[in-house]
Structure 1
Amino acid sequence: MSKPDYRKSAHWIACPPLGVEGGIAKAGPRVSTAKVHERQPLQPVIVKPDEAVADCFFVHGTIRESSGHPNIDSRLLMSPQTRTYQTNMISAFSHVARCFAPFYRMVTFAEDRPGGQEARWSMAFEDVAAAFSHFLEHWAAQRPLLLVGHSQGGVHVMRLLKCFFDGDNIAAMRLRARLVGCYAPGIWVTAADLPSHVPVCAGPGHVGSLAVWMCATETAELTSDTLVGRTVTALKSAPPIVVNPLTWLPARNGDGAAAAATAHLGALGVLPDGTPALFVDCCGGALARGGLLRLREISKRHAFLLAFYRGEGKDYHAFDLHLVWANVREQVRQQLENWLQAKFDAGSEDVSQDPALQQTETPRYHQTPNPTALAAGSNRWLRCTPFESALMCSIS
């Protein structure tokens, strides 16, 4: 299985400079589920790439399991339906950013030889890091950044933060100065897993922060009813961090204040004809409790609305982003507005001329220790952690 060549469009789900557009291709309706016949036009959901102010680097999660192969080129599993699923997630950021999303030799969770977890995760991350390096060097050298990954993609994003954004070196500091926001829903992250220089999101419009959450029903048990919980609970002694996307406030000690139904701005779904649609009035609010973002049903009569997004048991894992799509879009808009305002206030109206963003070299993955050095423990975040070893068992 050969390495991806990120100079070629075939190795990208989304890459505007190579002619591969990401995000929803057409605007659908805004559907009020409480009033089934009430439909209003959605606002356009993508901005022209040459008009976008920022760039978004998105890492997809596990597309599906593939028995017998510890890693597989994700291009081989990209059906039209799967591509739509991925680009719908990407579209949460396409109203302000050019969106880039690489294919990579993803971990499939197939059975492997003992000790093979590190090799499979290293292979996947080496591809993601190579794509990110190519993205920075050729297309996003000085622009504001959004960094996003779901599920397995979230694991890789956390490692990107450690490898490229953490530390006191000039390259990392310059990247942090460009970071508008980072999103890694669908994974279990504790305080011990956090990068030292990227804070957890603490409110609406918080620039340069990390937001993580896992969606489930009101009555779900973290360790038994959710895919992530069943996988990694034996390895985690601390509860997962949860940021409530309806308020953008973090839960304290695993619990947080409830958000009302009016705080939910809409979930992204599709109509029977396949047209993307924003579903409002489908969620009765959300509460961060016990390590989960618990979505409330509006009523028993409308329970089927959220049931559409539910996987096995009481888990909404596959739709962690879709379910709060409109809230994420609004948060991203506020973050970028605040980022630009801060640059303007600092006397750098033209962000491309901001001295803090000037670089003599682009951060590269190969500047970090090589795999041989990693085996000796020189950089634990480029090696397979127990968290990632557990994730390989079942996250999709």
Structure 2
Amino acid sequence: MAARIFLWSVFGLISLAVAAAILWAAAGGWILRQYMAPSVSFEESPKAPPTFYDRPDAWIARPGLPSEEARWLPDGVFPKPDAPAAIFYVHPTTYLGSDRWNAPIDVGSEDARFRRRVFTQSQASAFTVAGDVWAPKYRQAAFGAFLNFSSPDAEKAFALASSDVSKAFEEFMNSTDPGQPIILVGHSQGAFHLASLLAERGEDEELRSRLVAAYLIGWPISETADLPAMNITPCREPRQVRCLLAYQSFGEPADPSLIFDAFDQTNGFTGEPRRNTQLLCTNPVTGGSTQAAAASENIGTLVPEESLLNAHLEPGLVGGTCTDRGYLVLTQDPPDMGSYVLPGNNYHVYDIPLFWANLRADAQERTTAFAQ
């Protein structure tokens, strides 16, 4: 049942990508902003109640809370008992409605909960080899906020979502053992909020002492305008600890202008402009910074079977290399995971599944190195 849910969710995400591609080809960002940007101001947006992370219903997953999606694993992969770390995972955007700037805590619709489930299954599952998953629900910024990323309303929406993530993280830190190692994992909007968290807690010695690594995937992070304020070094070696991994996946020919056009209009966590700055790019195949990797080094891509009744890992399908301004370019034609990507050959939806087994091995190696 879990595998079927996962695969039908992938199918739904692919359909979303197709719709976005059609809209973009027709009239670019104008149509997206017209039809998916929130139709009200932030002040007029429906107000979601505050979040209380001492309550189990504020979490998708945490120890002691039954959570099928957090325990999901592909065929042939088994749980690792007594893994020592605690994983704090923040899911990406799943709310596509235009009626508000921030989603309700339970994201409002069955479709949005469905997308949240598949992301938790296909992303957080890669890191369960290192420990138990803590995954908060949060009042995420709606998809339309990204279409007006630098507007005052969007800034307020992201600030509200980040405040939820910060409160959840406080509960996470207080509820885990003071000496327990921790891993941060976020994708897309989730990565943005964790990057903001690191910038806010730049001098938090307990966080630094317990951090195995932060995997902030699918969100651009400037090496000069963001990293200094986050007080964390990039992961340059496979067993390095207390470091940051980040990348964004593109096929050839890559056109990341949709990302950079918005990103370059903003200032980083240091207050300096992000325009034309180099992005952090960690190769997920090697665990190094910019080293190229062949497909033969990829030990497992998470691929849905043609029947859509199961998922399996398939090695050797695609490699990657960090290039140009700092995004990851796939070195082979990617595997058939539905054949649909976002505009610009952006494999954003598949950032983690493309390199699922390598990320899993990476998290285990860094956790072992941390203990030693």
Q: 1:322 aligns with which of 353, 356, 359?
A: 353
- The answer to whether 1:241 aligns with 2:241 is no
The aligned residue for residue 88 of structure 1 is: 122
The aligned residue for residue 23 of structure 1 is: 70
- The answer to whether 1:146 aligns with 2:178 is no
Q: Conserved in 1, the CA contact under 8 Å of 2:295 and 2:320?
A: yes
What letter corresponds to residue 179 of structure 2 in structure 1?
A: Q
- Compute the displacement of 1:179 (Å): 0.5
**In structure 2, distance between residues paired with 1:145 and 1:187:** 21
- Compute the displacement of 1:109 (Å): 4.2
- Compute the displacement of 1:160 (Å): 1.3
Please give the residue correspondences for 1:120-199 in structure 2 after superposition, counting only pairs within 5 Å: 120-164=157-201, 166-167=202-203, 172-191=204-223, 192-194=225-227, 195=229, 197-199=231-233
What letter corresponds to residue 93 of structure 2 in structure 1?
A: T
What letter corresponds to residue 139 of structure 2 in structure 1?
A: R
Q: 1:277 aligns with which of 301, 307, 312?
A: 312
Q: 1:310 aligns with which of 335, 341, 347?
A: 341
- Compute the displacement of 1:26 (Å): 4.8
Q: Secondary structure at the match of 1:248?
A: coil
The aligned residue for residue 62 of structure 1 is: 93
**In structure 1, distance between residues paired with 2:73 and 2:207:** 32
Q: Secondary structure at the match of 2:70?
A: coil
The aligned residue for residue 228 of structure 1 is: 259
Q: Conserved in 2, the CA contact under 8 Å of 1:205 and 1:332?
A: no
The aligned residue for residue 6 of structure 1 is: 53
- Compute the displacement of 1:47 (Å): 3.3
Q: Secondary structure at the match of 1:203?
A: coil
* 1:275 to 1:10, Cα distance in 2 relative to 1, 3 A: farther
- Compute the displacement of 1:23 (Å): 3.0
The aligned residue for residue 297 of structure 1 is: 332
Larger radius of gyration: 1
- Comparing 146-155 with 74-83, greater Cα deviation is found at 74-83
The aligned residue for residue 11 of structure 2 is: none
Q: Which runs of 5+ in 1 are unaligned?
A: 29-41, 252-256, 342-396
**In structure 1, distance between residues paired with 2:161 and 2:183:** 21
What letter corresponds to residue 226 of structure 2 in structure 1?
A: D
Q: Secondary structure at the match of 1:147?
A: strand
Q: Conserved in 2, the CA contact under 8 Å of 1:282 and 1:306?
A: no
* 1:11 to 1:237, Cα distance in 2 relative to 1, 3 A: same
What letter corresponds to residue 239 of structure 2 in structure 1?
A: G
Q: Secondary structure at the match of 1:146?
A: strand
- Compute the displacement of 1:27 (Å): 4.1
* 1:259 to 1:71, Cα distance in 2 relative to 1, 3 A: same
What letter corresponds to residue 103 of structure 2 in structure 1?
A: I
The aligned residue for residue 369 of structure 1 is: none
- Compute the displacement of 1:116 (Å): 2.0
* 1:80 to 1:68, Cα distance in 2 relative to 1, 3 A: closer
Q: Conserved in 2, the CA contact under 8 Å of 1:53 and 1:143?
A: yes
- Compute the displacement of 1:85 (Å): 2.8
Q: Secondary structure at the match of 2:321?
A: strand
- Compute the displacement of 1:7 (Å): 2.4
Q: Secondary structure at the match of 1:129?
A: helix
**In structure 2, distance between residues paired with 1:18 and 1:305:** 35
* 1:132 to 1:182, Cα distance in 2 relative to 1, 3 A: same
Structure 1 residues 236-278: Cα deviation after superposition (integer angstroms, max 9, x where no partner): 2212121111122223xxxxx4211221111113333442311
Q: Secondary structure at the match of 1:127?
A: helix
**In structure 2, distance between residues paired with 1:128 and 1:82:** 16
Q: Secondary structure at the match of 1:52?
A: coil
The aligned residue for residue 390 of structure 1 is: none
**In structure 1, distance between residues paired with 2:97 and 2:299:** 36
**In structure 1, distance between residues paired with 2:321 and 2:359:** 16
The aligned residue for residue 368 of structure 2 is: 337
- Comparing 182-191 with 116-125, greater Cα deviation is found at 116-125
- Compute the displacement of 1:294 (Å): 0.8
Q: Conserved in 2, the CA contact under 8 Å of 1:74 and 1:105?
A: yes
**In structure 2, distance between residues paired with 1:307 and 1:3:** 38
The aligned residue for residue 363 of structure 1 is: none
The aligned residue for residue 207 of structure 1 is: 241
- The answer to whether 1:102 aligns with 2:133 is no
* 1:312 to 1:114, Cα distance in 2 relative to 1, 3 A: closer
**In structure 1, distance between residues paired with 2:335 and 2:243:** 34
The aligned residue for residue 3 of structure 2 is: none
- Percent identical among aligned pairs is 27
Q: Conserved in 2, the CA contact under 8 Å of 1:181 and 1:335?
A: yes
**In structure 1, distance between residues paired with 2:160 and 2:210:** 27
**In structure 2, distance between residues paired with 1:311 and 1:180:** 32
* 1:307 to 1:134, Cα distance in 2 relative to 1, 3 A: same
**TM-score of the two chains, using structure 2 as the length reference:** 0.76
* 1:143 to 1:262, Cα distance in 2 relative to 1, 3 A: same
Q: Conserved in 1, the CA contact under 8 Å of 2:95 and 2:143?
A: no
- Comparing 192-201 with 92-101, greater Cα deviation is found at 192-201
Please report the RMSD computed on the Cα atoms of aligned residues, expressed in angstroms: 2.3
- Compute the displacement of 1:24 (Å): 4.2
Q: 2:295 aligns with which of 243, 257, 261?
A: 261
**In structure 2, distance between residues paired with 1:100 and 1:240:** 28
What letter corresponds to residue 191 of structure 2 in structure 1?
A: G
Structure 1 residues 313-347: Cα deviation after superposition (integer angstroms, max 9, x where no partner): 40101111111111111111110111111xxxxxx
